[in-house]
Amino acid sequence: MDALSSGCTVKMGEGQNPLEAMADSTFSASDVLSDLPNDLLGEPPSAVFGDPLSNISKQESTSNPAKQSSKLPSDVPCDIFDPLHGTGMEPKDDGKNASLIDIVINPVTSAKDNLPVDDLLSQPEIDIPAKTKTEQPAELRSEERPKDEPLSVASSKPKKDLFEDSPEDLFSELPKTKAKTKPQMDLFGDSSPDLFMDAKAAADTGPGRNAPADLFSEESVATTTSKSAKSNISANSIVTANSKANGVHSDEEEQDIFAEATVELSLDSPHNNRKTLDTTKPSEPASSLSAAAGSSKAQAKTLEELEEEESEDKFELNISITNPEKVGDGMNAYMAYKVSTQTTLPMFRSKTFTVRRRFSDFLGLYEKLSEKHSQNGYIVPPPPEKSLLGMTKVKVGKDDPSSGEFVERRRASLERYLQRVVCHPSLLQDPDVREFLEREELPRAVNTQALSGAGFLKMINKATDAVSKMTIKMNESDVWFEEKLQEVESEDQQLRKLHAVVDSLVSHRKELSVNTAVFAKSVAMLGSSEDNTALSRALSQLAELEDKIEQLHQEQAGNDFFVFTELLADYIRLLGAVRGSFDQRMKSWQRWQDAQTTLQKKREAEAKLLWANKPDKLQQAKDEIAEWEGKVTQYEREFERVSATVRKEVIRFEKEKARDFKKQIIKYLESLLQSQQQLIKYWEAFLPEAKAIA
Amino acid sequence: MPTISQEYKTALRSVSVDLNNDVSLLIDIPDALCERDKVKFTVHTKTTLSVFQKPEFSVPRQHEDFIWLHDTLVETEEYAGLIIPPAPPKPDFESPREKMHKLGEGEATMTKEEYTKMKQELEAEYLAVFKKTVQVHEVFLQRLSSHPVLSKDRNFQIFLEYDQDLSVRRKMPRRCLVVSSRTWLKSADEVLISGVKEVDDFFEQEKTFLLDYSTKIKDSTTKAERMTRAHKNVADDYIHVAAILNSISAEENTALKKHLDKFSDMFEKLRKVEGRVASDQELKLTELLRYYTRDIQAAKDLLYRRARALDKARLKSKDVAQAEDNQRQCMQKFEKLSESGKKELTSFKGRRVVAFRKNLVEMAELEIKHAKNSVSLLQGCIETLKNC
């Protein structure tokens, strides 16, 4: 155990300085969180907890992303928290409930003593563990601490080599990043599976580690790993781990959630964080924190459909768009849609509410979101394109079926758009989203013209061009990004092709439906001329049958379109946004490189000055160098932050995509199935008629 | 493609269900060769009739020979009171050829697999057209051979037996002229028969019925053709969808890969089913309508000949008493014609009803079979998708 703890200490100790440096120089606001690992790690664990297990729990908390999962039986937590209790901070029971949040939040607050955050998170009854450093008052704890979080978290700990291996491999993978900053990025920026994957890929030597077949199995791998890790640590914990087996999943989820929650705050743009901090109302950040936890829980849920969900207090946010309504007349007319939200999220004022929004409001929302978030590497879901033609038809035409179809199509795609936005844990936190959903009157969005149809495409194309241009310049340091970008690009091509083909399927099926209707009429006429009564009857039955089949074809064409084509169209747009996020990463890289170049120049200038012996200007040059050094570090960190975000976003995107596609594919096949079943019914009803011809 | 040929055979046999099973004269076309636009049919005859020199023989014949045979039958006065089986339509490979050409142009835009599949589809289509052509010619001869009067026709026997090229083909350029004048005449005749006052109730009824029915069935035929073609297009689209899905899934490496694979697979299977649905509709419905469009035309021709004979008879009777004999002959001829015409038309009606029944029943059964097939495919696929 000594070896373990010392190993960890060393490791963490190494990480400390750069981390601190980074936190200080880069974000004033997000410091709060980025500091967390430092302090936590800086502490010699043994000092904090005499008990090795508690060490472990500590490690665990810092290595949260590694997603340890097995739940400990209550006796273990006792062990773990004994030291805590020893410090007199906490009753046992509370300890159990709060352990998770402790781990995640405490370090934050403790790190941050001088920031208002403390208040935000303050939670009187619970205490910060007795850290040597902690000046934190007990109030630091968040009141929102989840009532039923099992202590589980604390229990599983990467065993020493797991811990060592994974971060190290991560480091080696990213040559450019300083070893220290990277772990931090990953710890917070990445969802745990990711970290784990890396670790896995690199360090297969870890005991109990098998290559997981897929994302879901990773969890279990994590579990086993931690189990075996534990078993190495103490016999005691082996028992606990084993006895624990079925708690595993739910725990995992909770852990996940909290990992995410942490991520949320730390990755939010500085701007946002500051905002949160500025408000300093204790309740709000707390609630948003829990909301974040909630939303990430939802995310975890969707991503792990196969996992059994035992989380109580399910997060819910259902958005539907209904009742498209034409407002006004003539060319100034527009369609207004009813946006209804149903939610159990505390961040909203009520559980259900409805607002009316028009199309440009949706575009306005996108603009706001994209302005704020895309530069950080977030994939902001794009809204449907403006369609001058379609809208003009709606404005002019009264009850043209094609304009009805247009409106329905738009309604559906706006709905999907909004759902995608709120599905995104970070975007959901955006005040503009809340405002969009809640506020009665929204200031009229202006300047949405730029996004209209062609303009939007142009924008995407421009982004693409820029990306490809930059790719040439950028000597990609990370194969992952290079490969992903290629994947995205070729997928984009393929989806476009598929879209075209499915489009022609839709039109061919519509043609078939029309032709069937015409044939039905013709057969009805033929039947009326037929002088054999039975045959005449059969022919008119056939005509009726063909009429029904025509309906089927028409419905199926609708399904082809709404279920299949629109899915593809959405994903073509989304891939554009994904490319956009890669583009942002490139830009950030570019800025860093530029800063480096400038710094280089400044240094050369300094050297020249030295040589020329001009001490008066030397000081100024030195200042400039210092300034640019700061900038380089800052930009580099920003680049890394953006990279981490992009990576996380892309993974999230892919999971969403897989889920979406699966759902839609099944839906589509079911629609085909249904129409085939109808077909059987129709023909079976016809068969006796045909046989009755005499 | 043995299955296809089998189906075509049954399909077309069913069109002319009244073929009796008289073993004294059996005709089939076991083989045919396609050279550019020319199709060379091998007409094979097996007979116990003493008119023929040998009990079994084969002769090479071309489409034009069939037309010649048809035309001579139509022009033979004794057969005026019979429905002459409609001549087989000219072999038309234009549509599949054109498609093949188009496909070649679009080759670059498709994956190899996709192209291969499309090509296979077109080849199958080409083959189907070819087989259908052969069958239509065969049916024409079989209807003649099973007709009590027409089977004894000398020209027909020559057509079957003469083992050299029939010289008729040399006349072909002229025939084109004849055809066009004939069609012109026909439309004039239609005016005639619709204008002539009919004394016989039966024929009056038949006339209105056939005129009406003929336009309707022609219309239905074109509509049915369009419908089946559209269905084929849908089936073809499935090929493309399946191919692209397949190449997308090849690049995927997430859990989605499996789903896309399944989905692509599903489309591939469905396109086969849909293709069959389309071709079965074509066979059972469109082909039936097409055949009866021609058959009704033949029946109309009968009415026309009768009307002309009646006209002649009346004309002659106006032509004073000196040709009373002549007139009586014409009248007799007309009455004979009417009589056999009545018989022919009645049997035509029976034949048509039976053929429609058979085809509609078969089509309904096939549709049910295909839909059930799709349902089980889809259910299986949905099941696996849900579980993975």
Q: Say if CB A110 and CB A134 are below 8 A apart.
A: yes
The whole-number average pLDDT for the span A56-81 is 41
Q: What is d(CA B197, CA A53) in angstroms, rounded to the nearest whole number?
A: 113
pLDDT of residue B35: 76
* Contact (CB<8Å) B254/A511: no
Residue in B closest to A658 by C-alpha: B256
φ, ψ for residue B108, nearest 5 deg: -65, -30
The minimal CB distance from A683 to the residues B259, B357, B371 is found for B371
pLDDT of residue A467: 52
pLDDT of residue B319: 56
Q: How do residues A381-396 score in pLDDT, each as one tens digit?
A: 888 887 777 677 777 6
pLDDT of residue A156: 40
| pTM of full prediction above 0.90 | no
Q: What is the DSSP letter of B349?
A: H
Q: How confident is the model at residue A120 (pLDDT cuts 50, 70, 90)?
A: very low
Task: Give yes or no for A542 touching B (CB within 8 A).
Answer: yes
Query: Could you tell me which residue, A56 or A631, shows the higher pLDDT?
Result: A631
Q: Which residues of chain A neighbour B247 with C-beta distances below 8 Å?
A: 494
Q: Which residues of chain B neighbour A661 with C-beta distances below 8 Å?
A: 256, 259-260
The minimal CB distance from A498 to the residues B229, B241, B266 is found for B241
The minimal CB distance from B386 to the residues A526, A532, A666 is found for A666
Q: Which residues of chain A neighbour B371 with C-beta distances below 8 Å?
A: 676-677, 679-680, 683
Query: Could you tell me which residue, A541 or A292, shows the higher pLDDT?
Result: A541
Q: How do residues A336-365 score in pLDDT, each as one tens digit?
A: 888 888 888 877 878 888 888 888 888 888
Among the residue ranges A241-255, A530-544, B61-75, B234-248, the one predicted with the least confidence is A241-255
Choose from A218, A552, A669 for mutation: most chain B CBs within 10 A.
Answer: A669
Residue A353 region by backbone torsions, left for phi larger than 0, else alpha for psi between -120 and 50, else beta: beta
Is residue A524 classed as helix, strand or coil in its secondary structure?
helix
Q: How confident is the model at residue A442 (pLDDT cuts 50, 70, 90)?
A: low
Does the pLDDT at position A481 exceed 60? Answer: yes
Q: Which residues of chain A neighbour B229 with C-beta distances below 8 Å?
A: 515
Q: Which residues of chain A neighbour B352 with C-beta distances below 8 Å?
A: 532
Q: What is d(CA B298, CA B303) in angstroms, rounded to the nearest whole number?
A: 9
The minimal CB distance from A680 to the residues B352, B371, B382 is found for B371
> Of A373, A431, A382, whose CA–CA distance to A642 is shortest?
A373
Does the pLDDT at position A522 exceed 90? Answer: yes
pLDDT of residue A568: 92
The whole-number average pLDDT for the span A59-63 is 42
Whether the complex's predicted ipTM surpasses the cut of 0.85: no
Strand-pair partners of A327: A334
* Contact (CB<8Å) A515/B367: no
The whole-number average pLDDT for the span A495-519 is 93
Residue A274 to chain B, least CA–CA distance (Å): 37
Residue A81 to chain B, least CA–CA distance (Å): 40
Q: What is d(CA A354, CA A461) in angstroms, rounded to the nearest whole number?
A: 36
Q: How do residues A658-670 score in pLDDT, each as one tens digit?
A: 888 889 999 999 9
Task: Give yes or no for A326 touching B (CB within 8 A).
Answer: no
Does the pLDDT at position A482 exceed 80? Answer: yes
DSSP per-residue letters across A561-630: IIIIIHHHHHHHHHHHHHHHHHHHHHHHHHHHHHHHHHHHHHHHHHHHHHHHT-HHHHHHHHHHHHHHHH
Residue in B closest to A483 by C-alpha: B251
Query: ∠ CA A223-A226-A230 to the nearest 5 degrees?
Result: 135
For chain A, counts of helices (H) and of strands (E): 26, 3
Residue in A closest to B259 by C-alpha: A662
* Contact (CB<8Å) A676/B385: no
Spans of chain B below 70 pLDDT: 1-23, 37, 166-199, 315-323
Residue in B closest to A303 by C-alpha: B255
Interfacial A residues in 498-527 facing B (CB < 8 Å): 498, 501-502, 504-505, 508-509, 511-512, 515-516, 518-519, 521-523, 525-526
The minimal CB distance from B230 to the residues A491, A511, A526 is found for A511
Residue B134 to chain A, least CA–CA distance (Å): 28
